[in-house]
Amino acid sequence: MKEDTNRKILQLSKLHFNLMMAVCVIFWAFAFPLIKIGLEELSFINLTIMRFFIVVIVILVILLLQYKRFSKIHKKDILPIFLLGFFGVIVYHLGLNYGERLISPGTASLIIATIPIFIVILARVFLKEKIGMKKLIGITIAICGVILISLWGTLEATKESIIEPINQMEYIYAPIAVLIAAIMGAIYTIAGKKLLERYSGFSLTIYAMLFGSIGLIPFLNKSLIYELSNLSSTGWFAIIFLGIFSTIIGYGIWYIALEMKSASEISIYLYAIPVITTIISYIWLGYHITGYYFLGGSLIIFGLIFVNFKNNNKKID
């Protein structure tokens, strides 16, 4: 009887965990289509500013009410955390938003999904970590997928753009911008490793977003006021969802999950994001799924699985 009860509790806890991760994945998957919707009324810079304006307000409220739960910040770390936040968070979103002006949300999500690939590469360059043959094969496969959707899959998979006229080169610049965003995300992970010796993962993320957002101040201009004065309810919904659900709640769930399981165990859930984003974009926004897009996306996901397969038994904090 007791064993049956324990088994039911375990099954229930697994169900709760899976539901929690499903919510996180869905919030992150919806971010890419909602960025596209936000860009219909805001410039890529102003969308970034408004998203993090909401994020900063929520963070300040959380810090005010729950300050004891956060790691104490050291004065010597303020500049490193600012740089980490600006390049790893703000430049990341500026690159992603710029790229999504011209490419589909699904394409952007597939390129962003390569962050683990660049983490492995940067860890080899800066931390001298070894890259085994399996990882090398996985990296090569994933990069081939990125090249495929960037050169051929992007233009075909994108519906009529809101920006005219557009030439072929502009479509190439867009995935390059998103690729830079993915590299910034990888740099954030590598550069933050030293700081994680003094801060919890959640505390470091909160501080990085807060201090990094200061770097958006020079980008403020009159166009923000004009665009906000004409912003529709749909535009406001996109901004609020991106700020609260995709950023605050999404990362909050992620770090709760990290306290329960290792990063390598929960990273498998992230493979669903490009798939869900592509389905949402097809049904909601009318983006096409072409042969090149499908092949490139499959190569990226297969490459990611190949890279992470060997590390399933390691804990990464």
Contact between 89 and 209 (Cβ < 8 Å): yes
Residues 6+ apart with CB under 8 A from 229: none
The answer to whether the beta carbons of residues 245 and 24 sit under 8 Å apart is no
Q: Which two tokens stand for residue 43?
A: 């410039």
pLDDT at residue 119, rounded to an integer: 86
* pLDDT tens profile 246-299: 999 998 888 888 778 876 678 778 888 999 999 999 899 988 888 888 898 899
pLDDT of residue 7: 56
**DSSP secondary structure string for all residues of the chain:** -HHHHHHHHHHHHHHHHHHHHHHHHHHHHHHHHHHHHHTTTS-HHHHHHHHHHHHHHHHHHHHHHHGGGSPPPPGGGHHHHHHHHIIIIIHHHHHHHHHTTTS-HHHHHHHHTTHHHHHHHHHHHHS-----HHHHHHHHHHHHHHHHIIIIIHHHHS-S-SSSS--HHHHHHHHHHHHHHHHHHHHHHHHHHHHTTTS-HHHHHHHHHHHHGGGGGGG--HHHHHHHHT--HHHHHHHHIIIIIIIIIHHHHHHHHHHHS-HHHHGGGGGHHHHHHHHHIIIII-----HHHHHHHHHHHHHHHHHHHTTTT----
Say if 202 falls within a structural domain: yes
Task: Give the list of residues 6+ apart from residue 171 with CB closer than 8 angstroms, or none.
Answer: 102, 103, 154, 155, 158
Single pTM value for the model: 0.85
Q: What per-residue confidence (pLDDT) applies to 67?
A: 86
Domain total for the chain?
1
Which structural domain, as residue segments, surrounds residue 65? 45-309
For residue 139, give the nearest of 305, 314, 310 by alpha carbon: 305
Neighbours of 260 (CB within 10 A): 13
Task: Return phi, psi of residue 106, to 5°.
Answer: -65, -45
Domain assignment present for 29 = no
Instruction: Express each pLDDT in 70-96 by its tens digit.
Output: 999 999 999 999 999 999 999 999 999
Q: What pLDDT was estimated at residue 154?
A: 57
Does some domain include residue 32? no
Inter-residue contact 233 to 37 (CB < 8 Å): no
Cα(218)–Cα(132) distance, integer angstroms: 43
Residues 6+ apart with CB under 8 A from 258: 201, 266, 317
In a domain, 193, yes or no: yes
pLDDT of residue 75: 92
Domain-embedded: residue 167: yes
Contact (Cβ atoms closer than 8 angstroms) between residue 195 and residue 122: no
Does some domain include residue 38? no
Domain for residue 5, yes or no? no
Per-residue model confidence (pLDDT) at position 315: 36
Which residues, given as ranges, of the chain have pLDDT below 50?
A: 1-2, 8-9, 156, 160-165, 311-317
Tokens describing residue 141: 């496969």
Q: What is the pLDDT of residue 158?
A: 54
Q: What is the model's pLDDT at position 163?
A: 43
Examine residue 288 and state whether it is found in any structural domain, yes or no.
Answer: yes
Residue 8: predicted pLDDT: 46
